[in-house]
Amino acid sequence: MSDQYPEILSIECLRVPAKQLKPEEVDQKAEDRALDPATREVLKKTMHEGTETVWDRLERQQPHCKFCSEGISCQRCAMGPCRIMGGDRTRGVCGNDANLIVARNLLDWVAMGAAAHSDHGREVVEAMLKASRGQAPQYQVADEEKLRKIAREYGVDTSLPVAGIAEALALAMLDEFGTIKGRMQMPTRAPEATVELWRSAGILPRSIDREVVEAMHRVHMGVGNEPDGLVMHGFRTSMADGWGGSMMGTEISDVMFGTPEPKRSKVNLGVLKHDQVNVSLHGHNPVLSEMIVKAAELPALQERAKAVGAAGINLVGLCCTGNELLMRKGIPQAGNHLDQELTITTGALEAMVVDYQCIFPTLPHTAACYHTKVIATSPKANISGAMYMEISPENAFEQSQRILEVAIDNYPNRDRSRVLIPERPVDAMVGFSVEAIKKALGGSLKPLLEVIASGKIRGCAGIVGCNNPHIKHDYGHVTLARELIKRDILCVETGCASIACAKAGLMLPESIEHAGKGLQEVCGSLGIPPILHMGSCVDNTRVLNLVAELAREAGVRIDQLPVAGAAPEWYSPKAVAIAEYFVGSGVSTVLGVMPRIGGSPMVARLLTDGIEDRVNAKFWVEPEPKKAAALIYDHIEVRRKALGM
């Protein structure tokens, strides 16, 4: 291995402008900002040291621009920028009004989110293609049964050798990004009557890239000016992601790295270790991180760690890369979105390896306050001030070794006088793929339907999405989940929502004590938690597959099921795409943060009554999680009644 590493730009540590906080003020701020005790502990240290975090930047951004918050500012062309201010200023320079501006801005967000998720999905499929052709020999098919099952779905000849099946399937999937067939395969997993509903609503996607590109076309100045068409194309674009790009990301990650099964691991900032080289894996794409896990087991690297005085290499996850490793490998998870800076400010992190999405641009500045090295790995995500060690499927194993060498060599630079690692990581049971849920139920979803029909479980809720510093960190997720399980509603969770509940100790079979009697009885007999970890954000497609299978089994459409979705702390355009494909698919969804549509009651109506008329599902916005729980419960009861349950 070479000892030459890429140069890092010198970059300054970002500090909060000198304002001495009293200890009680620090305590109060930590309590206002975060729910998890481990997060609070490190947050206090961070404040004592004056290191800037996302919460400080939010404070300095207040008050937010009202026009932007309501979605009525437009930057789409050089005749503007424009704002809709009322009075005689109800139109921008081109003549657009509030409804058009809001509808276009919303479609832009959906397209951005769908593009990010689906591009991730494409990279996973490309990795399988390269592996099948022998160009990425470190990658192999881990779940042959799943490969064959999906191959049959795509009409691939399953009598071929495994590599041949993988190659043909990868090509068939890659074709769907730009197919001219005008239809995609995976939406047909839904019951026929549901697909028919999507077709008549005009939201059945034609191809992944096509819908995203058409969205970009439609938001250009001077294309359509009718909000309804823009909003409905948003739903179609999101469906191309949910039933296309993201679903490929999930399915092929399972094929390549293994379909998750329940396992125990640990979560919160306490998973860092005093006596080991700590490396966090942050971002979304498992193609790189899987190789780092493999490389960390190499005896040469373990020896190198010992040579610098460490007992070993401790890999920890963050955000969705973390979720991918947590559910498949049981790698402990340091935290979710708003924990990323704090993982560095513990002072105990040698390297933070990032791929893409949800990575604060300031991480190298945070790292500059300590000894941590931030290492960017994707050519799509160059980060100024970070080291850049590009990873591709062809070189991932070798490059992973080099990355770990950088981390190991950085261990002696840790300043032990500045280290704070919270003492108690929390146990969590994770890894409930649809396959694992069926296995726990004895091979099919029928027993789940039976306990729903009998009323022991009233229904299911998918709690998904991010953290957002506008909301006390994890409070929205944890409060909503607690309220729902109390009402005998089984929760499935992904992304940062799942880590919030795991940190709160709710993802353990023992946590059934917080559930209602019926849910307690069902989960207790199966030995599973009342809140099931289903994976990363692309794995919201597992939720789609779950409701599709439930609906098929019950002989109804998805929208008729007693189910609902929630994104209590969402921040990301990806979450907007997810929320739209939940609703488009028939799963009514409550958002805890108001989307930027306040300036157009017409668009708000389209996202509620308008879409409900077409697909029998709608959005609500409810920031108070206890009220959100009541909404979900009422909705589930209405669906139960309609089904005669």
- List interacting residues with ligand BF8 (CB under 6 A): 284, 319-320, 336-337, 358, 465-466, 495-496, 536-537, 572, 574-575
Computed on alpha carbons and rounded to an integer, the radius of gyration of the chain in Å comes to: 24
Least Å distance, CB 318 to ligand BF8, is 8
Given a contact cutoff of 8 angstroms between Cβ atoms, the answer to whether 240 and 185 are in contact is: no
Q: Are strands 277-283 and 387-388 parallel, antiparallel or unpaired?
A: unpaired
Find tokens 């229904």 and name the residue.
459
Q: How far is the CB of 344 from ligand BF8 (least distance, A)?
A: 16
Question: How near is the Cβ of 199 to ligand BF8 at its closest, in Å?
Answer: 29
C-beta of 643: minimal distance to ligand BF8 in Å? Answer: 31
Outline where DSSP puts E strands in 236-289: 263-267, 277-283
Report in angstroms how near the CB of residue 156 gets to ligand BF8 at its nearest.
29
What is d(CA 253, CA 478) in angstroms, rounded to the nearest whole number? 28
Nearest distance from residue 134's CB to ligand BF8, in Å?
32
Cα–Cα distances in Å, from 637 out to 49, 125, 455, 565, 625?
Answer: 50, 40, 10, 15, 18
Helices (H), 241-318: 246-257, 286-296, 299-307
**Residues with Cβ within 8 Å of residue 375, at least 6 apart in sequence:** 351, 352, 353, 354, 386, 387, 388, 389, 403, 406
Report the nearest approach of ligand BF8 to the CB of residue 338 (Å).
8
Nearer to ligand BF8 by C-beta: 320 or 420? 320
Query: For residue 514, what are its two tokens?
Result: 């917080």
Tokens of 463: 């709690």
Reported as half-sphere exposure (CB side, CA atoms, 13 A), residue 235 has a value of 29
Contact by Cβ (8 Å): 354, 363? yes
Of 476 and 495, which has the nearer Cβ to ligand BF8? Answer: 495
Contact between 294 and 138 under an 8 Å Cβ cutoff? The reply is yes
Q: Which is nearer to ligand BF8, 253 or 536 (CB)?
A: 536
**In whole angstroms, how close is the CB of 281 to ligand BF8 at the nearest point?**
12
Considering the complex, what minimum distance in angstroms separates the CB of residue 82 from ligand BF8? 29
Nearest approach, Cβ of residue 419 and ligand BF8 (Å): 26
Quote the least distance from Cβ 33 to ligand BF8, whole Å.
16
DSSP single-letter state for residue 88: T
499 in helix, strand or coil? Answer: helix
Q: Residue type for 177, please?
A: F
What's the distance, CA 19 to chain centroid? Answer: 35
| Gap between the Cα atoms of 32 and 626, Å rounded | 18
Q: Which is closer to ligand BF8, CB of 146 or CB of 337?
A: 337
How far apart are the C-alpha atoms of 151 and 549, rounded to whole Å?
18
Q: In the complex with ligand BF8, which residue's Cβ is closer, 284 or 542?
A: 284
- The answer to whether 332 and 43 are in contact (CB under 8 A) is no
Residue among 235 and 360 whose Cβ is closer to ligand BF8: 360
Nearest to ligand BF8 of 321, 511 (CB atom): 321
Kindly tell me which of 136 and 478 has the beta carbon lying closer to ligand BF8.
Answer: 478
Report the residue number, 106 or 358, with the smaller CB distance to ligand BF8. 358
**Nearer to ligand BF8 among residue 448 and residue 537 (C-beta):** 537
Structure tokens at 176: 């769907």
Nearer to ligand BF8, 191 or 234 (CB): 234
Q: Are 531 and 501 in contact (CB under 8 A)?
A: yes
Q: 43 vs 500, which CB is nearer to ligand BF8?
A: 500
- Cβ closest to ligand BF8, residue 277 vs residue 543: 543
Instruction: Report the DSSP beta bridge partners of residue 352.
Output: 280, 374
In angstroms, what is the minimal distance from the CB of 202 to ligand BF8? 27
Supply the DSSP string of 367-424, one letter for each residue: HHTSS-EEEE--TT---TTSEE----TTTHHHHHHHHHHHHHHHGGG--GGG----S-
Between β-strands 82-83 and 73-74, what pairing exists: parallel, antiparallel or unpaired? antiparallel
Is 243 or 570 the residue whose CB approaches ligand BF8 more closely? 570
Total count of residues recorded for the chain: 645
**Minimum CB–partner distance for residue 495 and ligand BF8 (Å):** 3
By DSSP bridging, strand 459-463 and strand 489-494 are parallel
Closer Cβ to ligand BF8, 293 or 537, answer by number? 537
CB of 391 to ligand BF8, least distance (A): 19
Torsion, Cα of 381, 239, 619, 71 (10° steps) = 50
> Residue 473's beta-bridge partner residues?
34
Nearest to 90 by CA among 106, 104, 77, 101: 101
Report in angstroms how near the CB of residue 280 gets to ligand BF8 at its nearest.
Answer: 13
Q: Are 397 and 295 spatial neighbours (Cβ–Cβ below 8 Å)?
A: yes
> Least distance (Å) from ligand BF8 to the CB of residue 544?
15
Q: Containing H/E element for 566?
A: strand 563-567
Written as six digits, the tokens of 542 are 């597992």
What 8-state DSSP symbol labels residue 71?
T
Query: Nearer Cβ to ligand BF8, position 329 or 337?
Result: 337
Q: In 3-state terms, what secondary structure has residue 212? A: helix
